[in-house]
């Protein structure tokens, strides 16, 4: 929800919604990718040489992930 609160639903609501489309891919929990509360994996990935963008290393929008 760090990106314009595009997905306000709970994990259970999102999973139920995806069932309607017969989604067969894995769904992961919502996590933060920017700021002090960013998940450690995202902190590490953004710190890698190829993880840095020309406008800084913050994830700018959901599609960047």
Q: What was the pLDDT predicted at 16?
A: 92
**Is 46's pLDDT higher than 90?**
no
User: What is the distance of C-alpha 48 from the center of its chain?
Assistant: 18
Give domain limits for the chain: 11-64
pTM of the entire predicted model: 0.66
Return phi, psi of residue 56, to 5°. 105, 180
User: Residue 63: which pLDDT band, with cuts at 50, 70 and 90?
Assistant: low
Q: What is the DSSP string of 1-65?
A: -TTTT---S-HHHHHHHHHTTT--S--------SSTT--HHHHHHHHSGGG-BTTBSS--SGGG-
**In whole numbers, what is the pLDDT of the chain averaged over residues?**
83
Who wins on pLDDT, 64 or 15?
15
Interval 2-10 mean pLDDT: 84
């Amino acid at each position: 929800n760090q990106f314009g609160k595009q997905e306000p639903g709970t994990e259970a609501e999102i999973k139920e919604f995806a069932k309607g489309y017969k989604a067969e891919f894995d769904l992961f929990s919502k996590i933060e990718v920017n700021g002090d509360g960013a998940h450690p994996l995202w902190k590490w990935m953004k710190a890698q040489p190829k993880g840095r963008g020309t406008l800084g290393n913050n994830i700018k929008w959901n599609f960047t992930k």
